[in-house]
Structure 1
Amino acid sequence: MAQAPVLTITLNPALDVTTSAPRVVPDAKLRCTPPRVDPGGGGINVSRAIRAMGGDSTALVALGGATGQRIAELLAETGVAVRSLPAPGETRQSVTVDDRSLGQQYRFVMPGPEWAATDVEAALQAAVDAAERNALVVLSGSNPPGVPAGFAARLAERLQGSGARLVVDTSGEALAMAAAVVDRRVEILRMDDAEAEGLAGHPLPYRADTARFAAGLVASGAARAVIVARGRDGNIIATGEGIWHAEAARVPIVSKVGAGDSFLAGFVLGYARGWPVPDALGLAAAAASATVQTPATALCRAEDVERLFAARVVSEMRL
């Protein structure tokens, strides 16, 4: 199926190590199950999920040391095309431990290496060089230490006039700075409900509240489309043409790790294929619901996405 090029950017990747123990308690040796190892980080997960759904993307990833090499090898096994950006130090690891007795999950996330101003400039230039005309450039995941919160805003400026379209999924100060960019330099801005409330400065308890907030960002020129994830209450997108809500499928939750990245992957893939916004939103919701049914850092399965997409419930909202 034809699609526009997709480039994902991961500045702070991680080698995700997942295991489980009968119970997680202090001051004891915890006998764990054999670990599962996956390449992780926002943009990497988006590329992995796009691949799982039959799409194509290129992952621009900052990699360093033996851990970085291991991530590159794991990505190659998935079939994701990789463009490596030298990182200023060893790529980080993250550890997830499931407590089987209580059904709880513990996530230990390490910091990435410290970046200098020259590293930031190199990353910006590498992103611009890798972005094809008409490509969707997906910047997702946390910034490593030393990368300024304004990185997304700077990238939006660098890409202006190139024909590439920027998709941003971030939080905190980085989200605020990306949302402050005007003239619709950002194509799609995604956030969850807590991030939206932080940006709005007040609670958004109802769907209509979220819809008005998202529509306001579009009207301000922050992005051509704004998506807000409301957890079990589904997802809302506002564009200049309308506002839609996608129901979240009621499925058993095994692990929520990677669900947001899979959502973004589904929307970007549908958007890259030229689908109408409601259908792209439905694919995004299906991908997220498929991912929560898989263990640890595994992502969506194509057959689950197809089944959930066929049963999607997407409705237009009117304020």
Structure 2
Amino acid sequence: MHDILTITLNPALDMNTEAEKVIPDVKLRCTEPMVDPGGGGINVARAINHMGGNASAIVAIGGHNGNRLLELLMAEGIATMPIPSPGETRASVVVNCKTTGQQYRFMLPGPPWRDEHVQKAIQTTAAHTPKDGLVIFSGSQPPGVPLDFEESLSEAIRGAGARLIVDTSGAALRQIVEDHKSPPFLLRADDEEAEGLAGQKLETPADTAAFACSLIEQGVAENIIFARGAEGSVLTTPEGSWLATAAKVKVVSKVGAGDSYVGGLTLSLARGSTIQEAARWGAAAASAAVTTVATELCRGEDVERLLPECKLIQL
């Protein structure tokens, strides 16, 4: 069993509530919010915990929201290594409209970082990277964090022989694609990000696989996973491409599906599975996550129940 470490630079105090209707220019009376610790790496660690595994979490903490987030993580039994964050840890709000069933997601920006905070994050990661383990860098980056932070992270964990999994988006993702000095073991992104990078629609899983293959040939990453929504996710390695299909389930909330995918995949890898089998576990975890409300993520029993429905199709 390989140890797992997650890194979250821009965590959030996630609040989930409901309103009868979501309309402009009036006061909307909402239900008592559910409050959870959130942010990419945090959610990955929580998902792993829900599936019976263990992951340590490096988390940037600031202000009252940061202290509350830390309390919630401790209550869930997540081993947390806090690092100082400037200002106040951000909040995010999800409002579910009872009338239409639609979900509105409001993500606030994090506080701007200075170089001293960036260096502290790198030093803390280097000090706690598990030997031959798995390190997950997931979620958005706060303002002020260099776009090439992943390069510094790769260098920091190199001596421990750990494998780096990166799940990012926007300018940070484009930086990895356009200036890849230290390709991570695995790069994951969603379908919209993939099409943005490709500059065209990727109509089929085969189109996604062909694009991912071109990135691997360029040295962007050793392995790549691009999500394709309800279809599942396409895994591409130097040996080929596979579609890990999603289970057919009723979607309650899409919040945390991608993080649950990374959690399922990483836990499977940590237990010694091939990357292809790990992709199937990721698909089952994502399928389980969309059946839960708010930010509950996946449940271990649901992941195991849905796993037989998630097939691996070679492309």
TM-score grouping bracket, smaller chain normalisation: over 0.9
1:247 aligned to 2:237? Answer: no
Shift in Å, 1:183: 6.8
Paired residues for 1:149-160 under 5 Å = 149-160=147-158
Whether contact under 8 Å (1:96, 1:107) holds in the other structure is: yes
Distance 1:219 1:9, change over 3 A: same
Shift in Å, 1:137: 0.8
CA distance in 1, matches of 2:276, 2:184: 20
Distance 1:181 1:164, change over 3 A: farther
CA distance in 1, matches of 2:183, 2:160: 11
Percent of aligned pairs with the same amino acid? 52
Q: Which digits, 9 at most, give the CA deviation of each residue in 1:75-112, with x for residues without a partner?
A: 11111110101111111111111110111111121111
* Structure 1 partner of 2:14: 16
Whether contact under 8 Å (2:125, 2:156) holds in the other structure is: no
* Structure 1 partner of 2:85: 87
CA distance in 1, matches of 2:265, 2:241: 15
* Structure 2 partner of 1:56: 54
Secondary structure at 2:2's aligned position in 1? coil
In structure 2, the gaps of 5 or more residues are none
Q: Which digits, 9 at most, give the CA deviation of each residue in 1:95-146, with x for residues without a partner?
A: 1111101111111211111101111111111111111111211000001111
CA distance in 2, matches of 1:178, 1:284: 23
Letter of the aligned partner of 2:89 in structure 1? T
Letter of the aligned partner of 2:274 in structure 1? P
Whether contact under 8 Å (1:189, 1:223) holds in the other structure is: yes
Whether contact under 8 Å (2:255, 2:290) holds in the other structure is: yes
* Structure 2 partner of 1:272: 270
* Structure 2 partner of 1:289: 287
* Structure 2 partner of 1:196: 194
* Structure 2 partner of 1:129: 127
The CA RMSD measured in Å over matched residues stands at: 1.4
* Structure 1 partner of 2:174: 176
Match of 2:143 among 122, 142, 145: 145
Deviates more, 1:160-169 or 1:174-183: 174-183
Shift in Å, 1:203: 2.2
Shift in Å, 1:216: 1.9
Secondary structure at 1:121's aligned position in 2? helix
Letter of the aligned partner of 2:314 in structure 1? E
Shift in Å, 1:154: 2.2
CA distance in 2, matches of 1:288, 1:77: 24
Shift in Å, 1:28: 2.5
Paired residues for 1:92-111 under 5 Å = 92-111=90-109
CA distance in 2, matches of 1:77, 1:51: 12
In structure 1, the gaps of 5 or more residues are none
Distance 1:27 1:183, change over 3 A: closer
Secondary structure at 1:186's aligned position in 2? coil
CA distance in 2, matches of 1:231, 1:159: 32
TM-score for the superposition, normalised by structure 1: 0.95
* Structure 1 partner of 2:163: 165
Shift in Å, 1:158: 2.9
CA distance in 2, matches of 1:113, 1:46: 22
Secondary structure at 1:96's aligned position in 2? strand
Deviates more, 1:62-71 or 1:153-162: 153-162
Whether contact under 8 Å (1:59, 1:81) holds in the other structure is: yes
Deviates more, 1:183-192 or 1:165-174: 183-192
Distance 1:160 1:181, change over 3 A: farther
* Structure 2 partner of 1:298: 296
Secondary structure at 1:160's aligned position in 2? helix
Secondary structure at 2:112's aligned position in 1? coil
Whether contact under 8 Å (2:6, 2:44) holds in the other structure is: yes
Count of residue pairs brought into register by the alignment = 315
TM-score for the superposition, normalised by structure 2: 0.96
